Amino acid sequence: MSRRLGLGAFAAGLLAAVLSALVRATTPLSDFDVPNADLLLSTGLSAAAVALVAYGVYRFLAAFLVARIADRRRAHDVRNVLRLGVGGVALVGVLGAFTEQWLGVLVSFGVIGFAITFALQQPILSFIGWFYILVKRPYAVGDRVNIGSVSGDVAEVDFLVTTLWETGGPLASNQPTGRTVTVPNSLVLSSEVVNYGALFDRVWTEVPVQVSYETDLPFVRQLLLDVADEEVGDDMDAAMRRYRDRLAESPLDLDVADGPTVNVAQEESWVVFRLRVLVPPTRAQRVKNRLYERILDRLGDHPDRVSFPVSRNR
């Protein structure tokens, strides 16, 4: 469909160009009480021809190139670059058709661009931010990020703004709120950007479990590790291999655990076990919910070895 639309626009543009040439080649349009009617019609047809041909080229290239890119993030970037490049050429062509002075249009762009730089600093910074995002890739479509004080999943990256599907917000869990947030691209140049999945598409999360001091602590620790291995063991093994590959390419020298780990913290009236696992950033809460359910079921099966803090001490 996109390719057919592009070919149709391209053909219409060629037809407009032919009609413009015919109008210029024939006698003036004296039937209209409009000065230079033939020139106006010819110029309009030329401008329409440039716009239609440019649109046709864009649609055809989008269908030919973007449709063949399996990575949707890269496809989104290529589509934006095509829009910018073809749109810029089309704008110069349309203005040139009206002025018939192509070089003058380009020079005017330079003068006008210098003049409006001071008036449009923020949009210009946002455009520079978009170029930085395109080159350095601090985030891409589909990533879960924090940009300044905003958290969400990147839904779209345009020339001036980034659209996020908000997560967290008024919700206690870091899950989608159903709202969208638009942030200027200039924020990547002036604020911190946290990408939850840029390192190796997984993030660490902790599942805290509180038990009393009368509990068989080694038993609970092993039970947590067993549940984690059953729930996320295979996925975490594959993620850890990717993590080690990334570490091997970096100058960092870190000690990496082979699987889930448990950290223990002492509180006044109870002991906190923190089960640490790797999860996909966009499904962290769902994985934690499953782990909680299985852990509580397992702990409830051993009342003789596990006890929980009483409510008055919490």
Tens of pLDDT, residues 34-69 = 555 555 666 666 667 667 777 777 676 676 666 666
What are the CA-CA distances from residue 259 to residues 245, 251, 277 (Å)? 16, 23, 8
Dihedral Cα 190, 191, 194, 200, nearest 10 deg = 10
**Across 150-159, average pLDDT:** 89
Of 73-82, 150-159, 188-197, the least confident: 73-82
Tell me which residue has tokens 């967290």: 168
- Measure the CA–CA gap between 78 and 134, rounded to whole angstroms: 10
Query: Mean pLDDT, the chain, as a whole number?
Result: 77
Q: Is 36 left (phi over 0), alpha (psi -120 to 50) or beta?
A: left
CATH fold for domain 143-195: SH3 type barrels. (2.30.30)
Q: Which residues of 131-148 are buried (b: 16+ CB within 10 A; e: fewer)?
A: eebbeeebbbbebbbbbe
In 3-state terms, what secondary structure has residue 51?
helix
DSSP summary character for residue 66: G
- pTM of this structure: 0.61
The answer to whether the CB of 162 falls within 8 A of the CB of 186 is no
Contacts with 104 (C-beta within 8 Å, 6 or more apart), sequence order: none
Beta bridge partners of 240: none
Q: Is 181 left (phi over 0), alpha (psi -120 to 50) or beta?
A: beta
Contacts with 177 (C-beta within 8 Å, 6 or more apart), sequence order: 166, 167, 168, 169, 170, 171
pLDDT for residue 77 is more than 60? yes
CATH fold for domain 203-301: Alpha-Beta Plaits (3.30.70)
Tell me which residue has tokens 């869990």: 173
Length of the chain: 314
Directed axis angle between helix 284-300 and helix 217-248, to 10°?
A: 150
- Measure the CA–CA gap between 211 and 306, rounded to whole angstroms: 7
- The pLDDT of residue 207 is 92
Query: Which tokens in the block code for residue 301?
Result: 């099966």
**Across 87-110, average pLDDT:** 62
- Measure the CA–CA gap between 11 and 124, rounded to whole angstroms: 35
Task: Please report, rounded to a whole number, the percentage of residues in the chain having pLDDT higher than 90.
Answer: 20
- Measure the CA–CA gap between 144 and 167, rounded to whole angstroms: 9
Q: List, for residues 264-294, the tens digit of each pLDDT value.
A: 988 888 899 999 998 888 888 889 999 999 9
- Measure the CA–CA gap between 258 and 252, rounded to whole angstroms: 17
In this structure, what are the phi and psi dihedrals at residue 273, rounded to the nearest 5 degrees? -95, 125
